[in-house]
């Protein structure tokens, strides 16, 4: 049985999709995915995300600079992101945030660029699409400083602990759950935490081509994740919240439409 689902985070501009994107989108639609947000992580990736929205139906985009790329986000690049945000197909500001796990960019640059994105979101009145890894103690106060002026946002691919979850919920943020919850090695804590996410704050995403659900059977030979596998995330969330897949699908689809104005 298919349900109507929205994948709020798919990196469809990734090079692994260049050779078969029409087929990927067809498989997603066959699996019940009625809309996808294509994630922008650099200026070029954000431009490509928007280009895909003009090529294919039922796509929207985000525009932003991932914290890994913050060191390269000069004034001209940020101006380019700001210009993309004027397009109505660009529904959110980001991916932006802090990643102190890999520290691909200096932390000072990450914090600067994160604040710049939050300010753009305030000015343009669009929600934020947020990344946080091992950086909650800095991420949370920066977000909190802007929260009263933001229209909303999602902490995408949530993988943190209970205290962080409750901090984000206290800021009335949405929480994005990916195939990380299907990973028996590192996602076990999410199986309990997902019960604590209010029905009106839960969102589902694949983060394709990353985070292929480890519980998926059979596994694709390529090991590439794609939006069609959002159904695996749905069924895992439904099982551990002890609610029906149909209910989770309806609520998360409504939540995505509300947050992103779809």
- Alpha-carbon torsion (120, 125, 129, 130), positive or negative: positive
Asked if 156 and 188 count as a contact pair (C-beta separation under 8 A), the reply is no
Alpha carbon of 139 to those of 86, 167, 171, 238, 243: distances in Å?
A: 26, 11, 13, 29, 32
User: 10 Å Cβ neighbour count for 242?
Assistant: 7
Q: Which residues of the chain have pLDDT under 50?
A: none
Q: HSE on the CB side for 232, CA within 13 Å?
A: 23
pLDDT, tens digit, 9 for 90 and up, residues 25-37: 999 999 999 999 9
Rounded CA separation 172/132 (Å): 16
User: 10 Å Cβ neighbour count for 199?
Assistant: 14
Rounded CA separation 143/97 (Å): 9
**CATH for the 5-260 domain, from 3.30.870.10, 3.40.50.300, 3.30.70.600, 3.20.20.140:** 3.20.20.140
For position 253, what pLDDT does the model report?
Answer: 98
Q: Which helix (H) or strand (E) holds 131?
A: strand 128-133
Instruction: Please tell me whether the overall predicted TM-score, pTM, comes out greater than 0.95 for this model.
Output: yes
Domain boundaries in the chain?
Answer: 5-260
pLDDT, tens digit, 9 for 90 and up, residues 137-191: 999 999 999 999 999 999 999 999 999 999 999 999 999 999 999 999 999 999 9
CB proximity list for 158: less than 8 A, separation 6 or greater: 165, 168, 175, 176, 177, 190
For position 193, what pLDDT does the model report?
Answer: 97
For position 180, what pLDDT does the model report?
Answer: 97
For position 221, what pLDDT does the model report?
Answer: 86
């Amino acid at each position: 049985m298919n349900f109507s689902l929205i994948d709020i985070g798919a990196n469809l501009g990734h090079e692994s999709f260049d050779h078969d994107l029409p087929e990927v989108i067809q498989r997603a639609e066959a699996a019940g995915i009625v809309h996808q947000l294509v994630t922008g992580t650099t200026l070029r990736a954000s431009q490509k995300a928007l280009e895909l929205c003009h090529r294919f139906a039922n796509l929207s985009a985000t525009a932003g600079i991932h914290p890994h790329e913050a060191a390269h986000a000069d004034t001209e690049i940020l101006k380019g992101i700001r210009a993309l945000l004027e397009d109505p197909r660009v529904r959110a500001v980001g991916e932006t945030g802090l990643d102190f796990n890999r520290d691909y960019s200096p932390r000072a640059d990450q914090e600067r660029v994160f604040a710049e994105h939050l300010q753009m979101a305030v000015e343009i009145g669009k929600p934020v699409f947020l990344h946080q890894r091992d950086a909650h103690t800095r991420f949370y106060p920066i977000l909190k400083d802007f929260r009263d002026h933001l229209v909303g946002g999602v902490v995408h691919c949530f993988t943190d602990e209970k205290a962080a979850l409750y901090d984000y919920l206290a800021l009335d943020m949405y929480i994005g759950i990916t195939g990380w919850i299907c990973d028996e090695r590192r996602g076990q804590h999410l199986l309990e935490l997902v019960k604590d996410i209010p029905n009106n704050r839960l969102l589902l995403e694949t983060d394709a081509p990353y985070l292929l659900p480890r519980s998926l059977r059979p596994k694709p030979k390529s090991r590439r994740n794609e939006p069609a596998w959002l159904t695996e995330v749905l069924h895992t969330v439904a099982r551990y919240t002890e609610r029906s897949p149909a209910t989770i699908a309806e609520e998360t689809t409504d939540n995505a439409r509300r947050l992103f104005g779809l």
